[in-house]
């Protein structure tokens, strides 16, 4: 019974972490379409069509406007000014919101921009080693590492260790999470893939 409850708890937490970003995106898109309907209403009056593929023309126009705004934002985000602004917002959130980097990485996997955050590592202790994620370096050369729990990876410990105890791994963030959630299944293969 305890194992069933633990499984249900882990599944519920994993589901929440997966669904939160999806729901937030859907809510934002829904609100954006509603806002754009006000802009689309006058355009809809000028076009003699009632619907496109069974969807009201006003809704189609609103969705196209949202798409145009998203494309424009994407172009701005790729510009120098957009990247500087995104970097500032991201760095601010990393400092002010506990767990932001971890949640961001769990939600989207490691993208090219995130490769400097939460690098999979193997931390060596006296008689053992443990999988973790490098968070940052201290001024004195030590390394801050997040050591997630298993199978519950949403909590764990943050430790500060000497740099010579931290070994970088040539694996993806999600591979380490999958192994930890599987109580270490596949860890031998991950540990063997050290960064040369």
Domain spans of the chain?
2-78, 112-191
Distance CA 69, CA 72 (A): 5
**In this predicted structure, what is the pLDDT of residue 50?**
67
How would you list the strands of the sheet with 119-124, edge to edge? 156-161, 143-148, 129-137, 119-124, 166-168
pLDDT classification of 140: cutoffs 50, 70, 90: very high
Tokens 């000028």, located at residue: 46
Distance CA 6, CA 12 (A): 10
pLDDT beyond 80 at 123: yes
Between 38 and 195, the higher pLDDT residue: 38
Per-residue pLDDT tens over the stretch 17-28: 777 777 777 788
What would the mean pLDDT of 163-186 be, rounded to a whole number? 84
CB distance 50 to 56 below 8 Å: yes
For residue 183 the two structure tokens come to 């109580």
Of the listed ranges 60-69, 104-113, 119-128, the least confidently predicted one is 104-113
Look over the chain and give the mean of its residue pLDDT values, rounded to a whole number.
77
**In this predicted structure, what is the pLDDT of residue 33?**
80
Q: Is domain 112-191 annotated with CATH 2.30.30.140?
A: yes
pLDDT classification of 115: cutoffs 50, 70, 90: very low
CB distance 133 to 118 below 8 Å: yes
pLDDT beyond 70 at 93: yes
Distance CA 153, CA 193 (A): 21
**In this predicted structure, what is the pLDDT of residue 110?**
45
Cα dihedral sign, 58-60-63-64: negative
For residue 136 the two structure tokens come to 């940052």
pLDDT beyond 50 at 106: yes
Per-residue pLDDT tens over the stretch 22-47: 777 778 878 888 888 787 777 767 77
Helix residue ranges per DSSP H, 97-182: 100-108, 173-181
**Burial of residue 140, with CB atoms counted within 10 A of its CB: 0-12 exposed, 13-18 middle, 19 or more buried:** exposed
Q: Is the pTM of this model over 0.85?
A: no
Of the listed ranges 101-110, 119-128, 147-156, the least confidently predicted one is 101-110
What would the mean pLDDT of 40-64 be, rounded to a whole number? 72
């Amino acid at each position: 019974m305890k194992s069933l409850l633990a499984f249900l708890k882990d599944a519920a937490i994993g589901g929440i972490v997966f669904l939160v970003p999806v729901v937030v995106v859907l809510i934002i898109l829904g609100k954006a379409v509603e806002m754009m309907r006000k802009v689309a209403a006058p355009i809809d009056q000028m076009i003699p069509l009632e619907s496109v593929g069974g969807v009201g023309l006003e809704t189609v126009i609103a969705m196209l406007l949202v798409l145009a705004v998203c494309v424009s934002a994407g172009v701005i985000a790729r510009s120098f000014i957009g990247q500087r602004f995104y970097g500032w917002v991201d760095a601010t959130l990393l400092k002010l919101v506990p767990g932001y980097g971890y949640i961001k990485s769990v939600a989207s996997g490691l993208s090219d921009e995130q490769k400097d955050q939460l690098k999979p590592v193997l931390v060596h202790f006296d008689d053992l080693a443990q999988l973790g994620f490098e968070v940052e370096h201290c001024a004195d050369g030590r390394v801050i590492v997040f050591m997630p729990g298993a199978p519950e990876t949403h909590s764990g410990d943050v430790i500060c260790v000497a740099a010579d105890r931290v070994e970088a791994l040539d694996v993806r963030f999600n591979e380490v999470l999958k192994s930890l959630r599987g109580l270490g299944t596949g860890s031998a293969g991950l540990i063997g893939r050290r960064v040369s």
